[in-house]
Amino acid sequence: MTIGYAPGKVILFGEHAVVYGRPAIAVPVTQVQAQAEVEDAEKGQGITIVARDLGQTYKLNEAPPDDALRAIVVSTLRRIKVGLEHDLTITISSSIPVARGLGSGAAVSTAIVRALVGHFDKWLDSRAISDLVFETEKIHHGTPSGIDNTVIAFQKPVYFVRGERMEIFWVQHPFLLAIADTGVQSPTKVAVEDVRRGWEEDPVKYEGLFDDIGTIADMGRRAIEQGDIEAMGRLMDENQRLLRLLKVSSPELEGLIGAARQGGALGAKLSGAGRGGNMIALVTRETCSQVSMMLRLAGAKDVIVTEVS
């Protein structure tokens, strides 16, 4: 058996605007992971996919072409020049909540790529893995930015401009994020398409909002590189204000954001597509417990605290 792993992720700054060519910053979340196990099966069994969390087991050749798990298996085997005639069982599990902005789809795909590559004693660098996963992300999200597959494949903080730049950068001082789950599923594809409709109806307004969000992402990178945690918090609050104007927040998110600020968070915002999913709060070691408690009292289904370094 060969096992591949991949972490979750959160977007610190720049969601939605990143689809329109503005910068965004994302970081891995190692407290949650996707796992894929690949093992040889009996002769003649073909390739079987076992999606443990979904309670599904099916043959690769019986899955529709737009099945994301089938797509990543086929594209990976083609990339490493391995035929589809092998007899394999691929078992997938994940502790990353689905449709919550933590990159569950990209993480599962990345774990599958790593497990298949290792099982056949091949090698792909992080860029090649990211590129494979990006193609599958189109099934999940329609018009993905590419940031999820990038940060998850490289497992480092990433400054990203779609189609132009991808830079791993260094954190001056590690910082803590409390990630709170609203419990509301929010498929990225739906929110992205709604923002696109708004942009088509009023491009001047939306381009201005995207510009402002991109500026915040640039300022956020500088704050992280300089270790200015107070500036990071202020920028998160401002980013959230702009995301409200894009109409991707929700009452559940706003409730948790308010609770985090009451608990002493330096800043708080939604992370990912919005309309549900997760929010993130910038906390210190002194305020971490208080903020986590306030988030749970406000209805958070789960709270994860992760250190970004």
User: Which residue bears the tokens 């791993």?
Assistant: 168
CATH of the domain at 261: 3.30.70.890
∠ CA 144-30-1, nearest 5°, is 90
pLDDT in tens, 193-212: 999 999 999 999 999 999 99
Domain C-terminal end among 109, 136, 168: 168
What torsion, rounded to 10 degrees, do the Cα atoms 254, 257, 261, 263 define?
A: 110
* Residue 229, number of CB atoms within 10 A of its CB: 18
pLDDT in tens, 99-110: 777 889 999 999
3-state secondary structure 14-66: CCCHHHHCCCEEEEEEEEEEEEEEEEECCCCCCEEEEEHHHCEEEEHHHCCCC
Question: In which band, very low, low, confident or very high, does the pLDDT at 239 lie, cut at 50, 70 and 90?
Answer: very high
Domain C-terminal end among 109, 143, 168: 168
Q: Which amino acid is at 131?
A: D
Reading the block at residue 128, the tokens are 């090649």
Domain C-terminal end among 168, 190, 213: 168
238 against 97, higher pLDDT = 238
CATH of the domain at 117: 3.30.230.10
Q: Are residues 123 and 245 in the same domain?
A: no
Q: Are residues 85 and 225 in the same domain?
A: no
Q: Are residues 18 and 142 in the same domain?
A: yes
Q: Are residues 105 and 158 in the same domain?
A: yes
State the Cα–Cα distance between residues 47 and 30, nearest whole angstrom: 29
Q: Are residues 85 and 9 in the same domain?
A: yes
Q: Which domain holds residue 227?
A: 175-308
- Residue 144: pLDDT above 90? no
Active site residues per annotation: 148
pLDDT in tens, 286-297: 999 999 999 999
b/e for 174-198, b at 16 or more Cβ within 10 A?
A: ebbbbbbbbebebbbbebbebbbeb
pLDDT in tens, 241-282: 999 999 999 999 999 999 999 999 999 999 988 999 999 999
3 against 103, higher pLDDT = 3
Hey, is 84 helix, strand or coil?
coil
Q: Are residues 280 and 233 in the same domain?
A: yes
Question: In which band, very low, low, confident or very high, does the pLDDT at 240 lie, cut at 50, 70 and 90?
Answer: very high
pLDDT in tens, 163-178: 888 898 989 999 999 9
Q: Computed from CA positions of residues 90, 91, 94, 99, in that sequence, does the dihedral angle turn out positive or negative?
A: positive
Per-residue model confidence (pLDDT) at position 138: 86
- Residue 162: pLDDT above 90? no
Q: Are residues 16 and 149 in the same domain?
A: yes
Per-residue model confidence (pLDDT) at position 58: 96
Mean predicted lDDT score pLDDT of the chain: 94
pLDDT in tens, 4-27: 999 999 999 999 999 999 999 999
Q: Are residues 254 and 190 in the same domain?
A: yes
Per-residue model confidence (pLDDT) at position 98: 80
Length of the chain: 309
What's the domain count of the chain?
2
Per-residue model confidence (pLDDT) at position 57: 96
Question: In which band, very low, low, confident or very high, does the pLDDT at 132 lie, cut at 50, 70 and 90?
Answer: very high
Q: Are residues 274 and 300 in the same domain?
A: yes
- Helices marked H in 80-142 — which ranges? 104-119, 126-141
pLDDT in tens, 24-64: 999 999 889 999 999 999 999 999 999 999 899 999 999 99
pLDDT in tens, 149-160: 999 999 989 999
- Residue 129: pLDDT above 80? yes
Q: Are residues 180 and 163 in the same domain?
A: no
* Strand-strand pairing, 2-13 and 88-94: unpaired
